[in-house]
């Protein structure tokens, strides 16, 4: 295994040390429990937005800490959820008097750790709620699964909600916005290679020379279906059409109700895309795919959207939600409206995303 690391045990720590050294005006890092937080924390009179997840997806989430995006991010071990103590300390460090919103990807580990964290933060007397992102359309049979995974739309939600928090949205309004973004975004990914977790030392799954793994998550787990290798046009068309033609998606989601301070179940239905709608198209690299290839994929995404009557009003192309060195990409389409466009365009100043400043 050849990686630009020192020892596997220190990967997470050394990544954060490097990030902190590179961005002293933007972020600070707290260790044990570990979280990255805005250098100007706590920012008063706005809701604090916190996310987190396994390491190995950089820049998500720690690279998105800063003005206009996250107040704090909690990194777990590689591909492993962070633990409730991290989220609790982060919440105490960054809340500015208007409560805390946890943005959580729908993986059972993340969900459970953030649920426990929500209960702990509430017990501290801090107003808190969580918003679940579950946008991955690859899961066909939700009878047998935990529902859809949270993937590309997470990045978009962090930007949009970050901007909304800066504008002074209340906790309740922000939670609704996050759920709305999740409901209007759909994603699907493909892997051309596996990846190697440093502590493990070998690839997480075997992929033949002529094979691709369709419907991957982001933790190096095998996907939904193995297919023979195809050119970028065919792959991009398969992913984009799966997203655009995905039927309405209904499920029950467990949310923390701020007022009653209990867990409640809410029915959510994601409407399908329709001709004439405006979208943001996000082509994301999984870490090992060169930028040129992402543009080749985007070329087809744009063509398919045009053909299906969807107008791309914004785009994001790059490796923002990676799986270590995995070769592959994911595509996300997010239905846009005036509010979302304005929030997307609002300034952000984080290590990985910066515009308007």
Partner 1 sequence: MITKDLIIRWLRHTASVMEAQRDYLTRLDAAIGDADHGINMDRGFKKVVEKLNSTEGKDIGVILRETGMALISSVGGASGPLYGTFFIKAGMLASGQENLNGEEFSSILKAGVNAVMERGRAQAGDKTMVDALLPAIEELEHALKERVDLVEALKRAVASAEEGVKNTIPMIARKGRASYMGSRSIGHQDPGATSAFLLLKSLYESFTS
> Catalytic positions, please?
57, 219
Closest by Cα among 179, 15, 4, 33 to 93:
33
Interhelix angle 153-166/338-345, rounded to 10 degrees, is 80
Give backbone dihedrals phi and psi of 255, rounded to 5 degrees, phi first: -125, 155
Residue from 19, 139, 174, 352 binding partner 1 (CB under 8 A): 139
Task: Note whether 287 binds partner 1 by CB under 8 A.
Answer: no
Task: Note whether 112 binds partner 1 by CB under 8 A.
Answer: yes
Residues 184-203 that bind partner 1 (CB under 8 A): 197, 199-200
Closest to partner 1 by CB, 112 vs 123, is 112
Task: Note whether 76 binds partner 1 by CB under 8 A.
Answer: yes
Give min distance, CB of 143 to partner 1, in A: 8
Task: Note whether 285 binds partner 1 by CB under 8 A.
Answer: no
Give backbone dihedrals phi and psi of 115, rounded to 5 degrees, phi first: -65, -45
Task: Note whether 108 binds partner 1 by CB under 8 A.
Answer: yes
Residues 140-159 that bind partner 1 (CB under 8 A): 140-141, 144-146, 149
Task: Note whether 335 binds partner 1 by CB under 8 A.
Answer: no
Give the tokens for residue 193: 């290679």
Residues 23-42 that bind partner 1 (CB under 8 A): 33
Task: Note whether 91 binds partner 1 by CB under 8 A.
Answer: no
Interhelix angle 153-166/171-184, rounded to 10 degrees, is 150
Our separate counts of H helices and E strands in the chain read: 8, 16
Residues, the chain: 357
Task: Note whether 80 binds partner 1 by CB under 8 A.
Answer: yes
Task: Note whether 302 binds partner 1 by CB under 8 A.
Answer: no
Helix (H) or strand (E) holding 28: strand 27-30
Closest to partner 1 by CB, 111 vs 181, is 111
CB burial of 105-143 (b: ≥16 within 10 Å; e: otherwise) equals bbbebbbebbbebbebbbeeebbbbbbbbbbbbbbeeee
Sites of contact with partner 1 (CB under 8 A): 33, 54, 76-85, 107-109, 112-113, 115-116, 138-141, 144-146, 149, 197, 199-200, 204-205, 215, 217, 219-224
């Amino acid at each position: 295994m050849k990686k630009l690391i020192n020892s596997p045990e220190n990967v997470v720590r050394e990544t954060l040390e490097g990030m902190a050294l590179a961005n002293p005006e933007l972020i600070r890092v707290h260790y044990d429990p570990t979280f990255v937080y805005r250098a100007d924390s706590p920012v008063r009179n706005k809701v604090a937005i916190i996310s987190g997840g396994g390491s190995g997806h950089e820049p998500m989430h720690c690279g998105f800490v800063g003005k206009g995006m996250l107040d704090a991010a909690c990194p777990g071990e590689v591909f492993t959820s962070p633990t409730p103590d991290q989220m609790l300390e982060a919440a105490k460090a960054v809340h500015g008097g208007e409560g805390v919103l946890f943005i959580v990807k729908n993986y059972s580990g993340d969900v459970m750790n953030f649920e426990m964290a929500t209960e702990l933060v509430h017990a501290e007397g801090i107003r808190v709620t969580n918003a679940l992102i579950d946008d991955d359309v690859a899961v066909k049979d939700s009878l047998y699964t935990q529902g859809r995974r949270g993937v590309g739309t997470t990045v978009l939600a962090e930007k949009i909600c970050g901007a909304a928090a800066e504008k002074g949205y209340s906790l309740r309004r922000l939670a609704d916005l996050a759920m709305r973004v999740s409901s209007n975004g759909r994603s699907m990914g493909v892997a051309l290679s596996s990846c190697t977790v440093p502590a493990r030392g070998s690839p997480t799954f075997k992929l033949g020379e002529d094979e691709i793994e369709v419907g991957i998550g982001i933790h190096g787990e095998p996907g939904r279906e193995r297919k023979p290798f195809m050119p970028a046009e065919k792959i991009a068309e398969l992913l984009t059409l799966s997203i655009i033609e995905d039927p309405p998606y209904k499920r029950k989601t467990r949310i923390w109700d701020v007022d009653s301070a209990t867990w409640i179940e809410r029915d959510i239905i994601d409407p399908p895309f329709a001709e004439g709608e405006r979208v943001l198209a996000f082509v994301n690299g999984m870490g090992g795919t060169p930028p040129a290839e992402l543009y080749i994929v985007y070329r087809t995404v744009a063509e398919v959207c045009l053909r299906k009557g969807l107008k791309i009003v914004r785009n994001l192309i790059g490796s923002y939600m990676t799986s270590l060195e995995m070769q592959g990409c994911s595509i996300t389409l997010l239905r846009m409206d005036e509010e979302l466009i304005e929030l997307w365009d609002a300034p952000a100043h984080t290590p990985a995303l910066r515009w308007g400043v």
